[in-house]
Structure 1
């Protein structure tokens, strides 16, 4: 997203484009999948005075604007990524921490079945499966 389109989107909602908002969005785009703490570290490399509260508030705002989304890849902080990316499901290795993305079509039959049987709509962008990756399963992964 360009700086001007972000500024226009914010102005349309009565908000302004601040350097902090721009830095947080850029950090999410650059990092791919990142926790607020990782975003904070990246932003502080450019603007040392930005605190973690500003990061959390900005991430919440960017999510309300539809620019980023989050998922939970661990018991800790949520992980944010750009909302414009293709939709995907996360596979998280409990052994080495690797995160792999797979197409939502893989779990769509389950989502369809839940919709039909339980009238439950799955938010596929928030789906994460935890297990052991092939490398760790074969004994070739990094052990914690």
Structure 2
């Protein structure tokens, strides 16, 4: 999965100073969203959620994923096979930790969401697994939806 457009990543529409982000976010949210941290596997509030609705960026509120694209990958984090809109996220090469991965960022504020993997054999339409930190998301349940 190459990120040819990576060299031309547009500036985020929402630009705040680190202090402004710290005011908006809890320390745990800041560590994941702004410092590319990762929550521990199987601890996030949305790992097994099946509630219908929209998953928005916890930092800026932009729609990122819909419940219809969520699937059970049993990896410890919420998994989606496609973003709500193709331009909702930005993919960026991540060579940290001595391996090549593809980082997923919110297109609106460039907050870290997680990573995307492909070719793992999940029975989804895209064969991609957007492995997203629960703490990066806020579920907006569909009207009348219950868990």
Shared topology, TM-score over 0.5? Answer: no
Task: With a CA cutoff of 8 Å and minimum separation of 6, indicate the structure with the bigger relative contact order.
Answer: 2
Larger Rg: 1
Which structure has greater helix proportion?
1
Which structure has greater strand proportion?
2
TM-score (norm 2): 0.25
TM-score (norm 1): 0.25
